[in-house]
Amino acid sequence: MTVHTEIKANNGVDTEALMGARGAFEQMPEAAAFTFRSDCSWIEGTYSTNNLNGYFGLGQEHARKKTYTIESDHPEVFHAADRAPTPPEIVLAALASCLTGGVASVAQHRGIQLNSVNVIVEGDVDVRGILGMDPDIRNGFSAIRATFDIDADASAEDIAALVSQSQKRSAVFDILTNPTNVHVSVA
């Protein structure tokens, strides 16, 4: 049973347009096939920088007006220069942003006004895995926790439902919780 509220919430998400896109992709599923990419170059040591601009979608290549950069490095405790966050931290940031954007979109769709949203995402990793010291320890996170603090014009249950639905529809949550075939080659 979905209850429609007439109160206009404004979280800055155009859900009507997104619902329209659903209709369009229903007719033309091939337009829904997107490919995203990051172009990364080594600078020095563990320091590298990613340029992100072009992507493929709606049947064609798209160029953004601006190229974004994401840099990465390792911290001083790993004897690096700490010029940028580590790659796993970028993964945590990606999850945080994906879930946060999801909360805003779902809230908009459900007519819930958000006042503030904060999420702390933590990932546990035993670095003996990366150092190849114990084959039983994995390289990646053994667990990830995300804790939301949300102020919204809604009940605690409705806020919990927003967070749950945002996980259900999150790309990064899916990438982290389900296996993906990864193909790495040398050009």
- Whether 152 and 137 have beta carbons less than 8 Å apart is answered as no
Report if residue 96 touches other proteins, rule: CB under 8 A: no
The one among 44, 178, 182, 184 contacting other proteins by CB under 8 A = 178
- H-only helix segments in 2-61: 15-27
Single-letter code of the amino acid located at 99: L
Report if residue 167 touches other proteins, rule: CB under 8 A: yes
Report if residue 185 touches other proteins, rule: CB under 8 A: no
The one among 1, 63, 77, 186 contacting other proteins by CB under 8 A = 1
Please, what is the minimum distance in Å from the beta carbon of residue 69 to other proteins?
A: 30
- Nearest alpha-carbon partner for 145 in 95, 186, 107, 185: 95
The one among 29, 41, 60, 183 contacting other proteins by CB under 8 A = 29
- In whole angstroms, give the CA distance from residue 126 to residue 140: 8
Output the CA angle 141-147-149, nearest 5 degrees.
Answer: 155
Report if residue 24 touches other proteins, rule: CB under 8 A: no
Report if residue 182 touches other proteins, rule: CB under 8 A: no
- Whether 49 and 73 have beta carbons less than 8 Å apart is answered as no
Give me the residues that bind other proteins (CB under 8 A), please.
Answer: 1-2, 29, 142-143, 157, 160-161, 164-165, 167-168, 173, 176-179
